[in-house]
Chains A and B, each alone.
Chain A
């Protein structure tokens, strides 16, 4: 069974940093690109970032470019999102998802709150 479990969310002050993790199991992690998607509670889905299966290629939404960094450790079956210079508009639930063309499996999300 495919499982994606996010962790690392929490309360952070504006301008602060946070690293999210996504532990994958039930499939060959190194064969798939992976995404981060976020959602402000009560609002829509927003693409954040993606990384290729071997980590050699990354992509970011304009809203997070130069502040966030996506990475992966295929030996640990884990996806990461390093978030810096956090702003109030970065608040929300962050989901990791498997890229199979469409996003065919999603984690349950981890909540990031940016507030002083």
Chain B
């Protein structure tokens, strides 16, 4: 199975600053990579799919990049509602696999 590794585990950022989250796949997943946001007590929400396409209703401050094995989620200017846990997931191979998550917390 493909192992997805996210870094860092925790990212401390001030509101208005930029956040950069990384996700690495143990083998190529092409661009079949999604990012999800999860807030406490809520289900995950799709942010990015196809490595770089924002899902419906997702603000432009969220952007994704990468292909193959290296991917990045960038939040250009953190808003209060963006403090959450972010997961990457590959949907290129079975079984589908998630990264362990990056928690973005207020600095």
Interface residues of A (CB under 8 A from B): 35, 37, 44-47, 50, 59-62, 95, 101-109
Size of interface on B: residues with Cβ below 8 Å to A: 24
Report how far A47 CA is from B87 CA in the complex, Å: 12
CB-based contact B98/A101 at 8 Å = no
CB-based contact B98/A47 at 8 Å = yes
CB-based contact B87/A45 at 8 Å = yes
CB-based contact B95/A102 at 8 Å = no
Q: List 21 A-B contacts (CB under 8 A).
A: A44-B100, A44-B101, A45-B36, A45-B44, A45-B87, A47-B96, A47-B97, A59-B95, A62-B95, A95-B43, A101-B32, A101-B34, A101-B49, A101-B91, A102-B34, A102-B46, A102-B91, A103-B36, A103-B44, A103-B89, A109-B43
Interface residues of B (CB under 8 A from A): 1, 32, 34, 36, 38, 42-46, 49-50, 55, 87, 89, 91, 94-101
In the complex formed, the residue of A with least CB distance to B43 is: A106
Contact of A103 among B34, B50, B101 (CB under 8 A): B34
Report the 5 A-B pairs with minimum CB-CB distance, sorted nearest first. A102-B34, A102-B49, A106-B43, A45-B98, A47-B96
Report how far A108 CA is from B42 CA in the complex, Å: 7
List B contacts of A35 (CB < 8 A): 96
In the complex formed, the residue of B with least CB distance to A105 is: B46
CB-based contact A61/B95 at 8 Å = yes
- Given A44-B101, A59-B95, are A106 and B34 neighbors across the interface (CB < 8 Å)? no
List B contacts of A104 (CB < 8 A): 46, 49, 55
- Given A102-B91, A103-B89, are A50 and B96 neighbors across the interface (CB < 8 Å)? yes
List B contacts of A102 (CB < 8 A): 34, 46, 49-50, 55, 89, 91
